[in-house]
Chains A and B, each alone.
Chain A
Amino acid sequence: MNPSRRILIFGGLALAAMGMTYGLHYALFVEHQTLDGMGSSLAQAFTNAAARKMPEAQRAVTDFAATKYDYVRQVDVHSHWIGLAMLMVLLGVAFDQVAWSERFRRLLAWGMLLGSALFPLGVMVQTIDHGFWPRGLAILGSGLVMASLALIAFGFARKT
C-alpha cells in the first residue's frame, strides 16, 4: 500500500473513530438535555405569551435560539467528521486510479486529511467562541477539502 493510500485509509479510520467517540459522548451526555431544552424553551415562550408575560416570553425565544445554535453545530461536527472519514477511506481504496504522480497524490491526501480534521473542528469551536477565528478555521478546512476533491476528480477522469 503506497503512502498516499495509507494517509487516506488510516487517516480516515482515525477520523471516523474520533467522530464516533465525539458523537457517542454527545448523544449520551448532552443531546437529550439539549433537545429537551429547545422544546421546553419554545413551549415556554408561547405559554408565557398566553399569560401575557412578554419579557419572559422573549427571553425564552432567545434561549431557544441560543440552544439551537449550539445543537446545529454539535450535530454538524459529528456528522461531518464521520462523513468525511468515510469519503477518505473510499478514496483511499481507489486512489491508485488518480492519474497524478505519487508525490502529488500524497499532497492531495494530506490536503484531504488536514481539511477534514480542521473544518469540523472550526465548527465545534464556534460553540465556545463566536468570533472570526473559528469561522476562519472552518473556511480554511473546507477550502482544503474542496481544492483536493476538485484535483482528485480530475485525476480520476484522466486515463492512467
Chain B
Amino acid sequence: MTTPAQLAASFSAMSARRLLVFGGIALIATGLLFGDLFAVFVLHQNAGEQGAALVAAAQAVARQDVAAVNSAFQHLGSLLEGRGTKVDTHVHMLDAGYLALLLALVQPYVALGASTKKKLAAWFITGGVALPVGIFLIHYVGLAYSPFPVIGWASVLADLGGLVLIIVLVIEAVGVVRYLRAGRAALEPELPHDSTWTRRTLLSGGTLLVLVGFVGGAHYAAKDLYRHERMEPEILGAMLQDAANNGAAELNTHINNFGGLAGEKAVKLAAHAHFVEFGLLAMLLSFLQPYVMLSERWQRRWVVVLLAGSVILPVFVFLELQFGLIAGGIADFGGLLVLIALIGMLVGVLRYSGSLDSAGGAA
C-alpha cells in the first residue's frame, strides 16, 4: 500500500509529470469537446453538401458540360478538405493528450535531468496544441500570404508542431535508453501500484472496450469491407451510365445508394475507432486514480460515468444507420458524459496538487 508521503513524492510541484498530466487531460478534454461540437454542427451538414456536389457533377455529365463537372469536383474537394481537417484536429488533439499521459507514466525511467524533463514536457504540450490548431486552420488560411507554392502558413504551423513532438519523443527515448544501459532503479518515485476498485475497473473496463472495438473492426473487415469495395465502383459506374444515357433519370437512386454506402462505412469505422480510443483513455486514467482527491463514492461515480459514456457513444454511433439523428443525439450525449467524467477527475487531481502545494508552502 502506498503511503501519502510516497504518493506526494511521485507528484511533486512543477515537475514534468504534473505538467504532462494536466496538459494531457486538458488536450483530451478539448479534443472531446471539439469532436462533440463537430458531430453536432458540421458532420451531417457537410455530408449533405457532399451529396449535393455529387448530384451537380452527375447532372453536369448528363448535360455534357465538362467545365461544370470540374467546378463540382473543386467544390467537392473543398468540402472533403473542410471535413478531413476537422476530423484530423479532433484525432490529433486526443492522440497528443494520450501520448502526454503515457509520457507522464514513463518519467521514472527517463534518465535526464529534472530541468530538462520539465522543458521537454512544456515543449511537448506546446507541440500538442500547435499541431491540431495548425491542422484546423489549413482549410481557412489556405495559401494566404504564403511564400510557398502549395504549403500555407497553417500547414507550416501544423508541421512545426508535429516536428516538436517528434524531437521531444526522440529525446525521451534517448533518456530511456540511458536508463536501461545504466541498469539502475527508477530515477524518481514510480506511480503507485495499489489495486483499488477504481483502478481495477478502469483497467479491465478499458481493456474490454479495446477488445470490443477490435472485434467490431474484425467483423467489419470480414463481413463488410470487401462488399463495400465492390459496391462503390458499381454505384459510380451505374451513376455515370445513367447520366450519360438517360439524362440522370435515376440520379436520386444512385446518390442515395452512394450516400447509404458512405454512411454505413463511416458509422462502422467510427464505432470501432471510438471503442478503442475510449478503452485506451480508461486505461491511462486508471494510473491517475491515486491523485484524484475525491471521496471514494465520487471517484467511483466518475469511473462509472466515464465507462458508461464510452459504451453509449460508439453503440449509438453504430445505431445511427437504423435510428438516424435520435441515435446521433444519444451518441453525442455519451461523448458529453466522457467529457464530464474527465473534468470531474481533473478537478480531483487539481485538489490533490493544491493540497500538496499549500502543505509545502505552510511547511
Contact = CB atoms under 8 A, between A and B. Distances in A.
**Do A and B assemble together?**
yes
Contacts of A91: 207, 283
Contacts of A139: 218, 222
A159 interface: yes
B244 interface: yes
Interface in B261-299: 276, 280, 283-284, 286-287
Contacts of B215: 146
A43 interface: yes
A156 to B, nearest CB: 4
A97 B193 contact: yes
B190 to A, nearest CB: 10
B208 interface: yes
Interface stretch (B39-47, B64-72, B124-132, B329-337): B64-72
Interface residues of B, number: 50
A30 interface: no
A159 B194 CA distance: 11
Given A69-B229, A86-B280, A96-B193, A54 B210 contact: no
Given A47-B66, A142-B218, 10 more contacts: A46-B73, A54-B241, A54-B244, A64-B236, A94-B286, A138-B221, A142-B217, A150-B211, A152-B207, A156-B204
Interface residues of A, number: 45
A109 interface: no
Contacts, number: 118
Interface string A139-159: 100100110011011101101
Contacts of B200: 97, 156-157, 159
B73 A160 contact: no
A46 B218 contact: no
Given A97-B193, A146-B218, A90 B283 contact: yes
Interface stretch (B30-38, B98-106, B113-121): B98-106
A94 B283 contact: yes
Contacts of B63: 50
Contacts of B102: 86, 89-90
A150 B237 CA distance: 43
A117 interface: no
A51 B195 contact: no
Interface string B186-224: 000000010100011101100110110011011001100
B64 A50 contact: yes
Interface in A91-107: 91, 93-94, 96-97
A3 interface: no
Nearest to A40: B73
A-B pairs with lowest CB-CB distance, top 7: A157-B204, A153-B207, A156-B204, A65-B233, A49-B240, A156-B203, A149-B211
Contacts of B16: none
A94 B61 contact: no
Contacts of A49: 61, 240, 243-244
Contacts of A154: 204
- Max count, chain A CB within 10 A of own CB: residue among B65, B233, B241: B233
Interface of B: 57-58, 60-61, 63-66, 69-70, 72-73, 77, 98, 102, 105-106, 173, 193, 195, 199-201, 203-204, 207-208, 210-211, 214-215, 217-218, 221-222, 229, 232-233, 236-237, 240-241, 243-244, 276, 280, 283-284, 286-287
Q: Is the interface of A mostly helix, strand, loop or mixed?
A: helix
27 contacts: A45-B236, A46-B57, A47-B69, A49-B61, A50-B66, A50-B69, A52-B64, A58-B237, A58-B240, A61-B236, A62-B233, A65-B232, A69-B229, A72-B229, A90-B280, A93-B105, A94-B283, A97-B203, A138-B221, A142-B218, A145-B214, A149-B214, A153-B207, A153-B208, A153-B211, A156-B207, A159-B195
A43 B195 contact: no
Contacts of A65: 229, 232-233
Contacts of B201: 157
Nearest to A154: B204
A54 B70 CA distance: 17
A155 B222 CA distance: 28
Contacts of B106: 93
A43 B204 contact: no
Contact of A94 (B229, B276, B287): B287
